[in-house]
């Protein structure tokens, strides 16, 4: 049985990917996660007893720990999700982003290089896939989309730290022949996303009758990707992608932030009518949209992201299976049904306060 190490597997995309792997492959899955505020074992509760699953608490920037993991588990695949991921937090504390996103990725690459030097794999026997973001490309005007050859122009410390790691990944292939893959995806949404990010933040604030803080005029555009579609894209990249290749993965669902908030309010009006929600009824509010509030913009806020996923479609046979409206409704229902998870992951660490001003 071959082993896949999933770093950051207790985070949002990672825990969805772990489920996807256990459901769709025969792989043994070892999650490696530091368990920062964003990593929670509650997100893996359903798989904790799975016979092909193991968990190790470790920091990917800890050289000895990472090398020990390679020696112990001899993985045939490593998927690196581990990262500091919230742009607003990167404005307040960029150092943690450089440490994990750049140094941590470097330690993984080095551990893989050293490990494979001692145990050279047969052709196709090893893959390290690094998960990156469309934010490395910077911001778009009203037209066009990011392709794999778009030059990097990151604008936030988060984007810069991700953009610092990607060329290292590439260099390890060009210089050492390490069989790496790089994927750059657009904004994900779906179950288990930490409530600091736009969609879960808005759902939980709305349900509790709190203000829905929209940055600037709400016209910034993101290309939304349902997390399950992203997980399938990563699995296809591992199976069909060429070593050293880079793939952009995007949902093809461009929406302004204001459109996203309006869509969430409309879904909530149906799923949990304001008249049946004491938090709104007490305030005499008949609709969730009445909670919308425009707040000062994020410094350096990129205007628009859009992904050209032609390469993933043609070379991997990937396409998103979920449209935005269906994915968003499924997400709203998940958060309504999993309030215990929401309370547990925020307890003592986060009160949905404004960050990064
Ligand atoms: P997340 O913040 O929900 O989870 C990150 C996980 O990494 C957490 O479990 C955390 O504990 C862990 N982690 C952080 N530092 C670590 C360290 N030093 N060592 C080990 N584990 C550590 O993030 P996410 O949204 O699931 O994103 C996963 C990856 O996908 C990231 O690399 C991110 O840059 C990338 N990405 C995310 C999105 C998105 O919309 N969520 C979009 C593009 C790219």
Instruction: For residues 326 and 281, give the distance between their C-alpha atoms in angstroms, rounded to a whole number.
Output: 27
pLDDT one-digit tens code per residue, 341-356:
999 999 988 889 989 9
**What pLDDT sits at residue 122?**
73
Cβ of 89 below 6 Å from ligand 1: no
User: Which residues lie below 8 Å from residue 241, measured CB to CB, with a gap of 6+?
Assistant: 129, 181, 247, 315, 316
pLDDT(52) > 90: yes
Active-site residue, 223 included: no
Instruction: For residues 94 and 98, give the distance between their C-alpha atoms in angstroms, rounded to a whole number.
Output: 7
What is the DSSP secondary-structure string of 45-86? Answer: GGGTT-TTEEEEE--TT-HHHHHHHHHHH--SEEEE------
Mean pLDDT of 195-201: 97
Mean pLDDT of 168-184: 97
What is the DSSP secondary-structure string of 196-230? Answer: TSHHHHHHHHHHTT--EEEETTS--EEE-EEHHHH
What is each CA distance from 224 to 8, 59, 133, 152, 212, in whole angstroms?
A: 21, 29, 12, 20, 19
Mean pLDDT of 216-230: 97
How many CB atoms neighbour CB 184 within 10 A?
25
User: How do strand 221-223 and strand 254-256 relate by DSSP bridges?
Assistant: antiparallel
Cβ of 227 below 6 Å from ligand 1: no
Q: How far is the CA of 84 from the centre of ligand 1 (A)?
A: 6
**What pLDDT sits at residue 124?**
73
pLDDT one-digit tens code per residue, 94-142:
999 999 999 999 999 999 999 999 887 776 789 999 999 999 999 999 9
pLDDT(151) > 80: yes
% of the chain with per-residue pLDDT over 70: 100
Chain Cα centroid distance, residue 36:
15
Cβ of 82 below 6 Å from ligand 1: yes
Q: How far is the CA of 9 from the centre of ligand 1 (A)?
A: 8
When the pLDDT of each residue in the chain is averaged and rounded to a whole number, the result is 96
What is each CA distance from 350 to 38, 89, 103, in whole angstroms?
A: 10, 12, 26
Local structure of residue 274 (DSSP, 8 states): G
**What pLDDT sits at residue 157?**
98
% of the chain with per-residue pLDDT over 90: 95
Contacts 24+ apart (CB under 8 A), 34-39: 34/58, 34/59, 34/60, 34/82, 34/100, 35/10, 36/84, 37/194, 37/349, 37/350, 38/11, 38/12, 38/84, 38/85, 38/86, 38/194, 39/8, 39/10, 39/11
Which one is catalytic: 158, 192, 194, 247?
158
Q: How far is the CA of 354 from the centre of ligand 1 (A)?
A: 20
Angle at 97 between CA 163 and CA 105, to 5 degrees: 60
Cβ of 185 below 6 Å from ligand 1: yes
Active-site residue, 53 included: no
Chain Cα centroid distance, residue 305:
15
Active-site residue, 247 included: no
pLDDT(1) > 90: no
């Amino acid at each position: 049985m071959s082993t896949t190490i999933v770093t950051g597997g207790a985070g949002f995309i990672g825990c969805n990917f772990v489920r996807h792997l256990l459901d769709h492959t025969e792989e043994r899955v070892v999650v490696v996660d530091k368990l920062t505020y964003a990593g929670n074992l509650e997100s893996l509760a359903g798989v904790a007893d799975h016979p092909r699953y193991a968990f190790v608490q470790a920091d990917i920037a800890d050289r000895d720990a990472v090398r020990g993991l390679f020696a112990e588990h001899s993985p045939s695949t490593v998927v690196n999700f581990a990262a500091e991921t919230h742009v607003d937090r990167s404005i307040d504390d960029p150092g943690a982003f450089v440490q994990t996103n750049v140094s941590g990725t470097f330690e993984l690459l080095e551990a893989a290089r050293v490990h494979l030097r001692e145990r050279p794999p047969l052709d196709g026997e090893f893959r390290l896939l690094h998960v990156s973001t469309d934010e490395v490309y910077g911001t778009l005007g009203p037209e066009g989309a990011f392709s794999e050859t778009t030059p990097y122009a990151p604008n936030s410390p988060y984007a810069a730290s991700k953009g610092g790691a990607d060329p290292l990944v590439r260099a390890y292939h060009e210089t050492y022949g390490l069989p790496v893959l790089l994927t750059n995806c657009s904004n994900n949404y779906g179950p288990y996303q930490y409530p600091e990010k736009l969609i879960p933040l808005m759902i939980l604030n709305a349900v509790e009758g709190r203000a829905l803080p929209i940055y600037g005029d709400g016209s910034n555009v993101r290309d939304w990707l349902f997390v399950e579609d992203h997980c399938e894209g990563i699995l296809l990249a591992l199976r069909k992608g060429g070593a050293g290749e880079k793939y952009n993965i995007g949902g093809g669902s461009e929406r302004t932030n204001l459109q996203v908030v309006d869509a969430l309010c409309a879904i909530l009006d149906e799923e949990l009518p304001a008249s049946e929600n004491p938090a709104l009824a007490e305030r005499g509010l008949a609709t969730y949209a009445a909670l919308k509030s425009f707040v000062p913009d994020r410094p350096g806020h990129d205007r628009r992201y859009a992904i050209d996923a032609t390469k993933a479609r043609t070379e991997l046979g990937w396409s998103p299976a979920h449209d935005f409206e269906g994915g968003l409704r499924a997400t709203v229902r998940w958060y309504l049904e999993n309030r215990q998870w929401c309370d547990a992951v925020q307890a003592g660490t986060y009160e949905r306060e404004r960050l990064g001003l």
